[in-house]
Structure 1
């Protein structure tokens, strides 16, 4: 789906006839471009084996604090090892296992409550950030970027249509699915954080859609950092296609298209599931294709607006992965999916 999303992003740049020369530079854009130079060094020399090795935790406290781009996957690995150890202790020393589980459940409840209190303030923060960016950006840049916003939303909507086609192939009604998934998707849209939507994502899959626990936890957790159709698929593909003609590259050539799709797909591994992950993905793609990175800074004025839809698509593709995986292993409970009473509301967070 990430490869398909990259193709859709490329196609909509051509459909809307977007040109990098249309984007102008204001004070905020200039500052952003300067700051990107430092972030670009993070992706220089990045290799697939190195990226895979970065998934392996070296300091669990560093990963718990989310200080690395691949911290989420590392925490999943740590949790899996802890779960295996728990299962072994449960057989040999059930009293210790019971005490561990009780303490873990209590800690989980406290942490989720803290997360809820913070995320309820997120929409107000988004409004403040958007207002500041609009005020410090050139008016002409915002006008020109309006077309980019429309193209981005159109491309992301088509990705959702592709998701719907996959659901139909699994004999799942897209209408029923989206009705049940609406609370978590709307939350992702306003919160702009795949990681923030993780608890509600898992809860929606298991309690509203009928996905088994294992598939739901793995798809939601890995979906925070891997294969994001919005941030790591559509967005970097669009930026690369927009800026490539400025350095004399024919974006309609098969060679460019295949290279773009391959690099976007590979680069989608390990993108952080928080605000800014799309920037990291774009830098990977642009640097690998030897394209100017300034385009990333020029779209800062509308970044929060686009990021809302991107995040919703990211969360949806992780839920879709859970549904498809659960159905493939015969654990998908369609009775839950078809039960109108089996729903999850945002307030349950």
Structure 2
């Protein structure tokens, strides 16, 4: 009897086939109504964007219910405090490491030296005003929770939902009806997620096919050093920083983790959205890794909002690249400012495609670099956006696994289930 393909395997197959299809459309099929209007901007766009919108539809109610139930399920406010502090500290530390690593790689490779600026078309950019630390902290507290939910302000939603969960845990039997409502509504959202996820392989295929059919290889040529620097920093963060932390804090096998989590990384790559990956990430951590949903339903949605290591890496390399391209020398103080600003900017970065370029303008402003530099990297940012999203969600999962192991909410038998089954077979 043949083993049926799992959803994550189907998603990965859709990713590969979509890339092949996109490359064929770009390089072989001539431009025209069939390729451009019917396929790329017709079928692929409607199905791909439609799937992405369906995933985004789930995000706010899913994050809200997951965090309420997660906070409520942890129950013990001391334990919740420990989990919260560990998670936030981990996210901030890894983001600071990520941007420091990116600046180091950027200075080593020097991607902006030798770039002929006269051949680069400067695109219009959206300038984001620098926000003070006090305003960032105050903005976490919603003046109107309903408005925060309606506008998808994730930091405010997280604050309010954790507060509701803590109070429900404290009231216990007195608020049993409300607690049951959130638990049941969370079940509804999980079921809705699984229904939407059935379309994931097709949605991923269309999204990737659209991306590769629009990216010309000529666009990469003058930017290869920049692309290589970002990719190298992302790989180092994922394979060295994260896997070292996993080994040191949990003694678990990093290769087993990567093998089991790779389909989620592939899904994040195809959607370029940390938020859209939340349901699959929680499910994989629960079913494949042995992480208790009590922990993952709290740390993963939180990470999708405040843990943007991949975005921080892009910003670090971009600062070095733009400063070299424009011939502006940056000193040690400037780079320290970049590390601080990018770490804080990552907290307020929404987990949706392309938003890293907007917050990059805030980082550039902090050290006096021209925001016009963003226009140089806009053309090739899509493929980098996809890669850094995969790194973002991996960081969330590593943190979740470490916290779950330390809090006794981890099943090692589930994590090593493949090895156990292999030994039984032998």
Contact 2:117–2:325 (Cα < 8 Å) also in 1? no
Alpha-carbon separation, structure 2, partners of 1:188 and 1:83: 28
- Residue in structure 1 matched with residue 346 of structure 2 by the alignment: 268
Q: Which deviates the most, 262-271 or 165-174? A: 262-271
Q: Is 2:106 aligned against 1:13? A: yes
Alpha-carbon separation, structure 2, partners of 1:130 and 1:189: 13
Alpha-carbon separation, structure 1, partners of 2:333 and 2:215: 37
- Residue in structure 2 matched with residue 63 of structure 1 by the alignment: 148
Higher CA-based Rg? 2
- Residue in structure 2 matched with residue 162 of structure 1 by the alignment: 241
Alpha-carbon separation, structure 2, partners of 1:94 and 1:169: 40
- Residue in structure 1 matched with residue 263 of structure 2 by the alignment: 183
Q: Is 2:319 aligned against 1:240? A: yes
- Residue in structure 1 matched with residue 85 of structure 2 by the alignment: none
Contact 2:295–2:404 (Cα < 8 Å) also in 1? yes
Aligned-pair CA distance for 1:271: 0.7
CA deviations on 1:136-192 (whole Å, 9 max, x unpaired) are xxx4x5311123222221111011121111111021111011111112111111111
Alpha-carbon separation, structure 2, partners of 1:93 and 1:15: 58
**For 1:83, which of 162, 165, 171 is the aligned residue?**
165
Equivalent residue of 2:195, what SS? helix
User: What is the aligned-residue RMSD (CA, Å)?
Assistant: 3.0
Contact 2:334–2:367 (Cα < 8 Å) also in 1? no
Equivalent residue of 1:299, what SS? helix
**For 1:218, which of 291, 294, 298 is the aligned residue?**
298
- Residue in structure 1 matched with residue 74 of structure 2 by the alignment: none
Q: TM-score, normalised by structure 1?
A: 0.82
**Any runs of at least 4 consecutive aligned residues in structure 1 with deviations exceeding 6 A, and if so which?**
none
Alpha-carbon separation, structure 1, partners of 2:116 and 2:306: 30
For 1:116-265, list aligned pairs within 5 A: 117=199, 120-132=202-214, 134=216, 139=218, 141-160=219-238, 161-170=240-249, 171-231=251-311, 233-246=312-325, 249-251=328-330, 253-265=331-343
Alpha-carbon separation, structure 2, partners of 1:229 and 1:250: 25
Alpha-carbon separation, structure 2, partners of 1:83 and 1:342: 37
Gaps spanning 5+ residues in structure 1: where? 344-349
Contact 2:207–2:270 (Cα < 8 Å) also in 1? no
- Residue in structure 2 matched with residue 4 of structure 1 by the alignment: 97
Change over 3 Å in CA distance of 1:118–1:76 after alignment to 2? farther
Aligned-pair CA distance for 1:285: 0.8
- Residue in structure 1 matched with residue 355 of structure 2 by the alignment: 277
Query: Alignment length, in residue pairs?
Result: 326
- Residue in structure 1 matched with residue 12 of structure 2 by the alignment: none
Alpha-carbon separation, structure 2, partners of 1:11 and 1:97: 49
CA deviations on 1:29-80 (whole Å, 9 max, x unpaired) are 54xx32x2xx31xx32411121122222334444334x45xx2232223332
Alpha-carbon separation, structure 2, partners of 1:339 and 1:317: 22
Change over 3 Å in CA distance of 1:100–1:12 after alignment to 2? closer
Contact 1:89–1:96 (Cα < 8 Å) also in 2? no
Gaps spanning 5+ residues in structure 2: where? 1-93, 422-426
Equivalent residue of 1:268, what SS? helix
Alpha-carbon separation, structure 2, partners of 1:93 and 1:9: 48
Q: Which deviates the most, 258-267 or 192-201? A: 258-267
